[in-house]
Structure 1
């Protein structure tokens, strides 16, 4: 049975404003909207919302969650199993933090003496390991496939492909100060789309768009792409997004 936005908000314990925001950013769009403008959420929508909240609990930014769950290779059952493992890991770290807090209280009371190392047990400010795991499963799959195919080609073939890629990137770099929606920019990004599909794998428009977002989200991509011209990664992201949306019309 479909549920209205207020009913979903009350069921989950989040605000109506939050659900509206998810809808506006394309993260969670209800399957149905009545003639009166009421959002109606299906059971599938609720299952997706659960996935979103699991990822959010584990520290993923909303933009990254959107990229993950919109990826064609995303598998809900696999994600649930990953969520469980991640939450168990998080619980172990929280238990360690609680032990550190308890020990620190005893230390301040003079009941025990703590070393400086013990005072910081449980703290971890490294990159979110859950995000890295998710990117490996659902965000970087096409990139890994492409790299594997490239290694299987001869040196001559690789050189030819690199030269073709450099020509495309150089052309895009020349256009990066203009509009990514211009005919010239879209023709150049079409060449990039064709290049990827002809040489590596079948890139759907959605995956192509997600790849463009990765150019900006992953600093390794940004650094390499921007060698052709500062701001090129962002320009390509925008041009790829426009291309994919136009082709879907």
Structure 2
């Protein structure tokens, strides 16, 4: 079996030889064997274990707690790493949203085109609306297309008194709903807190006015995913409040998982 000396392992893992010696001394990571020359040798098994140690260390675990974690079954250790992966993915999304916000701030500072306050609550253009509808259809199939067609019919029915007036009224209602949710975000309320249920129910009812039916679990989840992944919505929500994209999407998903199953 291929083996590596302690210096080689240290270089591959990005740690010091002294660290590996310390791990050996406390029984956290012992070499596979000691050669006649008194050199420590590590095999693939030790390298995999070292990788797990570094992952756990990155999660903030102490060495003593890492030692306890390594005594768990492989399935239990895998589950811990899966949860850590989710946290890293969430952090990555937050970083991407922060980058988008910084880009818009740079544009404003340099005098480039920026989103006007009065435009935040205007409806998207017909072209953009079709693009968003197609995104939903592509990701959620024919049932979503039928819902969109029904929603278009309902809008025309509801807009007998004037389509622009109807849109203005509904966007004003949305402004009130989103303002309430933003206050919760800024007040430190977690996006999965049931305290948000009333505001999210209002949001779901608002969506239902456009769709002609109440969003069910999969469609409301799908809508939350579009909000968090489509650049048009990210730009709009981050202009309203930094972090609002993920917060609103998380609140919608939490509500759907708790109340719409």
TM bucket, shorter chain: 0.3 to 0.5
More helix by percentage: 2
TM-score, reference length from structure 1: 0.41
TM-score, reference length from structure 2: 0.39
* Greater relative contact order (Cα < 8 A, sep 6+): 2
- The structure that has the greater radius of gyration is 2
